[in-house]
């Protein structure tokens, strides 16, 4: 689904972080049930955004927090929105931004909820519990499993930049090939002051995901747009697998820098997410038109950057 959209020049992911209190007080959306039927309001708002933006996007991403905060009505809106996307834009994948991770049998429940009850096409997960615990996700070869690698928040480096120390033999085992390990050492500039090569944790996660977890070709990684040089480092490690890139727009990511750093060898591979900057571009009745305008603007900026760099 992603490759089909990339072939059309679509790299924008619209984040439907539809916080109820920020939805415009349009009669078309809220009707006469202001503050009462939350599910209908959120679903109607999202449906209007999807109808307006569908031709310019490679994916829609729904952060579950904005729906779970509204209890049963919020979960109803989440389920309804995913069903609406499948109906309105059936060739556009839906990413459930849930950041799940637990022990294996608990993850089995998360899998059923995400892919069965909600019918999402992909989900974000934490790597902290390791591949063994994430097997219920990774085993779903027909679904996208998007692993947090380096997030966009200012405090991301507290753990993600900490170093893992590996001997050459250990690194070769992780990479799977001594020659490739040597290549990456040179390419990444990993130092060896004493005891082993110093590899930032986020790069080690990228290695594990791309070299060991992606056996079904269903893995992607998350790298925030606010760290373009770290995005570039991850792209060197993971090759052509997709990278979900949040942090454009309200969080301040630079489009030209992330396209240069995030594109793969085919000039593709990017899922560039903008949420608030698109869906809340207007607080008036023209919110859907404004969302389309901002989506098209980001789309055009990405294409210009790709053309500028020869892709």
Does residue 99 have an active-site annotation? yes
d(CA 28, CA 82): 20
Segments in 96-224 forming alpha helices (H): 104-111, 130-138, 157-160, 168-175, 178-188, 201-208
In sequence order, what are the beta bridge partners of 272?
A: 12, 245
What would the two tokens of residue 126 be? 């934490």
d(CA 91, CA 151): 27
Which among 51, 99, 257, 289 is annotated as catalytic? 99
- Cβ atoms within 10 Å of 105's Cβ, excluding its own: 9
d(CA 17, CA 33): 21
Backbone phi and psi for residue 97, each to the nearest 5 degrees, phi listed first: -90, 80
Would you please indicate which residues are annotated as catalytic (active-site) residues? 99
């Amino acid at each position: 689904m992603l490759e089909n959209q990339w072939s059309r020049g679509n790299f924008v992911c619209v984040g439907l972080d539809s916080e109820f209190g920020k939805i415009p007080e349009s009669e078309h959306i809220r009707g006469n049930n202001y503050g009462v039927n939350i599910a209908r309001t959120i679903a109607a708002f999202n449906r209007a955004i999807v109808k307006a933006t569908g031709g310019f996007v490679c994916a829609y991403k729904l952060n579950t927090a904005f729906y779970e905060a509204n209890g049963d009505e919020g979960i109803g809106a989440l389920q309804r929105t995913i069903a609406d996307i499948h109906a309105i834009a059936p060739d556009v994948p839906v990413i459930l931004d849930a950041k799940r991770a637990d022990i294996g049998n608990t993850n089995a429940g998360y899998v059923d909820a995400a892919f069965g009850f909600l019918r999402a096409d992909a989900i974000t997960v934490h790597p902290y519990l390791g591949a063994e615990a994430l097997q219920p996700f990774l085993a779903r070869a027909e679904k996208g499993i998007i692993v947090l690698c380096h997030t966009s928040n200012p405090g991301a480096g507290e753990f993600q930049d900490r170093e893992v120390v590996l001997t050459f033999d250990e690194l070769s085992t992780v990479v799977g090939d001594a020659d490739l390990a040597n290549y990456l050492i040179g390419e990444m500039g990993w130092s060896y002051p004493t005891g082993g090569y110093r590899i930032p944790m986020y790069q080690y996660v990228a290695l594990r995901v791309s070299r060991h977890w992606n056996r079904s070709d269903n893995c992607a990684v998350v790298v925030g747009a606010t760290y373009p040089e770290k995005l570039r480092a991850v792209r060197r490690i993971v090759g052509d697998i997709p990278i979900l890139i949040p942090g454009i727009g309200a969080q301040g990511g630079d489009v030209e820098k992330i396209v240069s750093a995030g594109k793969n060898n085919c000039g593709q591979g990017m899922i560039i997410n903008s949420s608030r900057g698109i869906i809340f571009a207007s607080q008036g009745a023209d919110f859907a038109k404004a969302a389309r305008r901002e989506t098209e603007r980001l789309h055009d900026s990405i294409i210009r950057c790709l053309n500028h760099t020869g892709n």
